[in-house]
Structure 1
Amino acid sequence: MTRTLILMRHAKSSWDDPSLSDHARPLNARGIASARAMGDWLREKGHVPDAAVSSDSQRTGQTFTELGFDIPVTYTRALYHAGPEMMMEVLQGQTAQIVLMLGHNPGIANVADRLVTQPPGHPRFMDYPTCATTVMRFDADTWNDIGWREGQPIDFAIPREVMG
């Protein structure tokens, strides 16, 4: 059996209101458009998640909403600025076959790099800009069976490319 991970950084957030905490910052107009475009791209490519797990920040939650998937989502503080080990722990607690995980840099870039067997040949993979998305597949019966460097990269995209 295979497991598929869709690993996405939140879309572009707004810095317009300096009174907001980092956790409470919403998406800006570009971020909303990017999230919608990435949702369309995922559907066009056939990468439709069964469930999602997301940081509980405003911008990750709003990114998930704008993707337009009607799937169960779990919001957790554990993914708010999490490092690779915490992200792996959260992932290994999932049960769906195709999981969308939404998080923040630098953790999301680091976990993407550590999970794939080899980086996709894309110049933006290592810096993982806002709303960057990697789709990777694992040969595993459960998420507990996966390890570092076992994810086969299937797709990688950034909003600028899918929006034209």
Structure 2
Amino acid sequence: MKTLYIVRHAKSSWEYSGIEDIDRPLKKRGIKDAHLMSKFLAKEVGRPDVFVSSSANRALHTAVIFCENFEYPLSNLKIKRQLYSFSDGYLVKTVNALDDGFNSAIIFSHDHGINTFVNKFGNKPISHVSTCGVIGIQFEEKHWKNIKKGKTFLIDFPKNHK
């Protein structure tokens, strides 16, 4: 069995002009939400075997906060530029390429790709994954490359903890 947690990056800022989208930072609210969600999840689900993040600043900063609160070594955080995509294609490829030695993984990515992925691979329809939202899906398959429709067992958002 494989367990996957998908995290949409926390709330980012649009107030900086002249920077590329990939470089947008988190807002203060995003930083607080990332701490809130990661502290809650660390108590509830334990630490996933591998952490993988988009290279976008906002996703990477979210992942770093989760690493801190899960006590996951930053040196082991995997950064994938291809996750800076707004379709589910690279998310699927990233999941399929995970080492089968990992039974659980947490991936930090972006809006549209996440929404498509969780509805395609989970068994509960989700209309919108908000910033710093976390979706957990369990798969019966033994190999990440073979995942099919799984069971959505976690749908959680920062608003549920405020």
TM-score above 0.5, yes or no: yes
8 Å CA contact 2:88, 2:112 repeated in 1: no
Give, in whole Å, the separation in 2 of the partners of 1:61 and 1:118. 27
Counterpart among 86, 90, 97 of residue 90 in structure 2: 86
8 Å CA contact 1:81, 1:105 repeated in 2: no
Report the aligned-residue RMSD.
Answer: 1.3
Give, in whole Å, the separation in 2 of the partners of 1:36 and 1:8. 13
Counterpart among 85, 107, 111 of residue 105 in structure 1: 111
Give, in whole Å, the separation in 1 of the partners of 2:118 and 2:45. 20
| Unpaired runs of at least 5, structure 1 | 120-124
Structure (1 or 2) with the greater helix fraction: 2
Give, in whole Å, the separation in 2 of the partners of 1:52 and 1:99. 6
Quote the residue 1:145 is aligned against. Answer: 146
- Per-residue deviation at 1:42? 1.0
- Per-residue deviation at 1:47? 4.1
| Unpaired runs of at least 5, structure 2 | none
- Per-residue deviation at 1:97? 1.1
8 Å CA contact 1:3, 1:138 repeated in 2: yes
Give, in whole Å, the separation in 2 of the partners of 1:16 and 1:84. 27
8 Å CA contact 1:14, 1:25 repeated in 2: yes
> Can you list the C-alpha shifts for 1:32-65, whole angstroms capped at 9, x where unaligned?
0000111012112124211111110000000011
What is the DSSP-based 3-state SS (H/G/I as helix, E as strand, rest coil) of the residue aligned with 2:111?
A: coil
TM-score (normalised: structure 1) = 0.89
Name the aligned partner's letter for residue 78 of structure 1: Q
Q: Percent identity?
A: 26
Quote the residue 1:26 is aligned against. Answer: 25
What is the DSSP-based 3-state SS (H/G/I as helix, E as strand, rest coil) of the residue aligned with 2:139?
A: strand
TM-score (normalised: structure 2) = 0.90
Give, in whole Å, the separation in 2 of the partners of 1:110 and 1:16. 28
